[in-house]
Amino acid sequence: MPSSRFLLIASVLCGLAVAAACNRAAAPTAPPTPSVAATSASDGSTLNVTAPVPTSPINSAQVTSAPTLVASAATGAGTAALQYRFELFNEAGTRVEQSSLVSSPSYQVTATLDFQKNYTWRVRAEYDSRVGPWSSTAKFVSPNGGYIRTGEVFDPLYNGATVGERVGTTTFVANGIRTDTSTSYVRYLIPGSVTAGEFSVEVSGLRPNAAGDKNKVFAMSSDGADFITDPYRVDIQYRGSAGFPPNAITFRCLYGSADALDVRYEPDTTTRLNSAINLDPNTVYFWKFSWGSEVRLTVRQGSATGTILYNVGVPATHGTYRPSPWYAYIGAPSGRSGAESASTPGAIYKNVWISSRARPF
């Protein structure tokens, strides 16, 4: 009997031990977090993760617009959500930009870069106020200041040069190029054509009640014998004192014919009459015209994200915008309407962008 009792007690104890072991196995575990270094490493890091590895741009590659800095992710953090901080330095070694913390090892530069200069950058991982080691530095060369490519133009203009052709009297000033008379403009001959895209530019020097009628801010055409009768004419207007009405912002776009009304796209008369705005010549305005299945003109105060002053679109249901050759202008040629309906004297332009791509800056 004692032997049986002993066996029973042993069996119960064994069962309890197995149950306890199962309960311990089922207990939830917290996700791993990055370990903290006992002391700061020689590189100043306090987080036990690897340094990210820069992947683009590297090896002194030349970029054509504000670059996106890209690196591989840091490792060693388990499932923790690392964040990343980027730093950008100029040729003198001065830091010109430091990003806020971002969720992935990718960051688009927002600093204004000097043209044709060497820049270096680095990145590190961070977690909960702890920092990993900096990556090795990577190098790129900033844009050379402007270009004309198939279907695309970038022309900063505030660097005292243009990739276009200057016609008439124009003057480079501190913040761009100025059209000095109603017959002066800058012309771009663009290889290829773009059936849907945008033409955007920053403009100052526009004033209310300026001399002229249908004064042009910028334009496009296929460079026919007469700009006004060109079948692919686009003219973006800020009307002068003789305009109807004065100081109106408006536009006209032709999709292949100067005569056929079904491919002429412009705001109706009521919209135009309600679009008179007194612009300040000391203020920069961002103008953007887009075309495709709709034509639209947007004007903002200050920048591409500034207050909208004008935003009018018209569905383009017939025809296709396909000029050949393809010309674009800041200002515009006179055409048969004469100088009073051409460029705006005193307008100052910078950062011209023409492309099927969205403006990258």
Domain residue ranges in the chain:
54-141, 147-355
For residues 98 and 313, give the distance between their C-alpha atoms in angstroms, rounded to a whole number: 39
298-331 residue pLDDT tens: 999 999 999 999 999 999 999 999 999 999 999 9
For residues 203 and 340, give the distance between their C-alpha atoms in angstroms, rounded to a whole number: 20
For residues 100 and 84, give the distance between their C-alpha atoms in angstroms, rounded to a whole number: 8
Among candidate residues 146, 218, 217, 151, the one with its CA nearest the CA of residue 189: 151
Instruction: Return the minimum-mean-pLDDT range out of 64-73, 210-219, 230-239, 270-279.
Output: 64-73
Task: Give the DSSP H or E segment for 264.
Answer: strand 264-265
Split at pLDDT 50, 70, 90, the class of 340 is confident
Q: Domain 54-141: what homologous superfamily?
A: Immunoglobulins (2.60.40.10)
pLDDT of residue 21: 45
For residues 83 and 67, give the distance between their C-alpha atoms in angstroms, rounded to a whole number: 20
Split at pLDDT 50, 70, 90, the class of 335 is confident
Q: How far is CA 140 from CA 63, 70, 116, 123, 212, in A?
A: 7, 12, 10, 15, 47
125-184 residue pLDDT tens: 999 999 999 999 999 999 878 899 999 999 999 889 999 999 999 999 999 999 999 999
Give the residue-averaged pLDDT of 248-266: 97
Split at pLDDT 50, 70, 90, the class of 42 is confident
Residue 4 is which amino acid? S
Angle at 344 between CA 252 and CA 332, to 5 degrees: 50
92-111 residue pLDDT tens: 999 999 999 999 999 999 99
208 cis-preceded (ω within 30 degrees of 0): no
Per-chain mean pLDDT for the chain: 89
For residues 224 and 212, give the distance between their C-alpha atoms in angstroms, rounded to a whole number: 23
For residues 180 and 171, give the distance between their C-alpha atoms in angstroms, rounded to a whole number: 7
End-to-end CA distance of the chain: 92
Residue 58, classed as helix, strand or coil, is coil
Task: Give the DSSP H or E segment for 270.
Answer: helix 269-273
Q: Are strands 61-62 and 138-141 parallel, antiparallel or unpaired?
A: parallel
Task: List the CATH code of the domain at 147-355.
Answer: 2.60.120.200
Token pair recorded at residue 190: 């663009």
